[in-house]
Amino acid sequence: MADRLAGKVAIVTGAGSSGPGIGNGKAASILFAREGASVLLVDRELERAEETLGLIEAEGGTASAMGADVTSAADCEAMVRAAVERYGRLDILHNNVGISTRADVTEVTEEQWDHIMTVNVKSIVLASKYAIPEMKKGGGGSIITLSSIAGLRANSSTPYTTSKAAVVGLTQSMAGDHGRDGIRVNCIAPGLVYTPMVAPRMDDDLRQIRREAGVLGTEGTAWDIGWAAGFLSSDEARWITGVVLPVDAGLLVTTPVTYNRLGQQQHGGPAVR
């Protein structure tokens, strides 16, 4: 449906991509603009946001770029102020920034732990802290957070899993706190999506394993995450708040032993139902 965000103003953090291609923040930014929103594209690396801006402007959309570090309270306040000054209001905040490192609790350093929690959780707190008062002035709004299926199941990175589980709790808490302000807060939990952030770590075999992990047996892209964000930000989702939406090709509804090819091989026949 075209123009589902017409007249709305959105901030997307992490609006650029870390490498060639389309990442989650870039996809959401482009889709928001296609649906009629005016979008403030925020990235710590301004040139990344400007690249996204060029794509939006080439399609006739309305957007502008801003360099900001969303782990800084001052930058988050400035980001929200810029959106209001440029476009007159604020309706949507899409929190898209996140990092990871592979470590268990015995391996992770204190510095790594603090950095991941700051980027993945504190950034959402700070961005929301300054966005919510402006949304209240306009009668409400929509906040989207990005968790991960790693926040719902064990993952190879304890600090990443912990931070993404914290995002779920933060989402639900903010939804409860600000529902009567007309502000909906929802969380997307991406699955094994192929994006510029993970591409450098992939070879063909690993990419195929990830592709076949979900019951749909297809590869997820940043557009899949962007489409979910567009829906949750729109008035079509007016009665949805506090939810965690896995976008994961059905990965979370199965276990390897009971369902997929690995399970069939282990049992020597059809998977146990």
What residues are labeled active site? Answer: 160
Q: What order of strands is seen across the sheet that includes strand 62-67? A: 62-67, 38-43, 9-13, 92-95, 141-146, 183-190, 244-247
φ/ψ of residue 106, rounded to 5: -80, -20
Buried b (16+ CB within 10 A) or exposed e, 64-86: bbbbbbbbeeebbbebbebbbee
CA-CA distance, 58 to 50, in Å (whole number)? 12
Helices 110-117 and 158-178: angle between axes, nearest 10 degrees = 30
Q: What type of residue sits at position 142?
A: S
